[in-house]
Amino acid sequence: MAAARRYAEDGQRCTELNLLHAIERFGVQAIMGRPMLYAKEIRSMLLAERVVNVIQAVNNSDDWPAFAREHPKDAALYTEIMKDIE
């Protein structure tokens, strides 16, 4: 989560997002050398993508309380992400 947070904040790519973008562009076989991804790889890429999306959504929101009410799962994830910083 920390690498995805750094990407969302200052553009530093993380391994999971690098893989995700390369696979989207060239396919699993070309990038991984096998025809499919493992479940753990998929989960880590999806989590990294979700972390970035949540941080960007919160940063684009002018009203944290309203955001938290409208998107409680995203607010909980954002709170968890921010705990890692402290």
Q: What's residue 84's pLDDT?
A: 67
The whole-angstrom separation of Cα 52 and Cα 9 is: 9
The whole-angstrom separation of Cα 33 and Cα 14 is: 20
Q: Give the model confidence (pLDDT) of 29-83 as tens digits.
A: 999 999 999 999 999 999 999 999 999 999 999 999 999 999 999 999 999 988 8
**Prediction pTM value:** 0.83
Number of domains observed in the structure of the chain: 1
Q: What's residue 85's pLDDT?
A: 65
Q: Give the model confidence (pLDDT) of 18-35 as tens digits.
A: 999 999 999 999 999 999
The whole-angstrom separation of Cα 26 and Cα 10 is: 26
Give the structural domain span for 48.
2-85
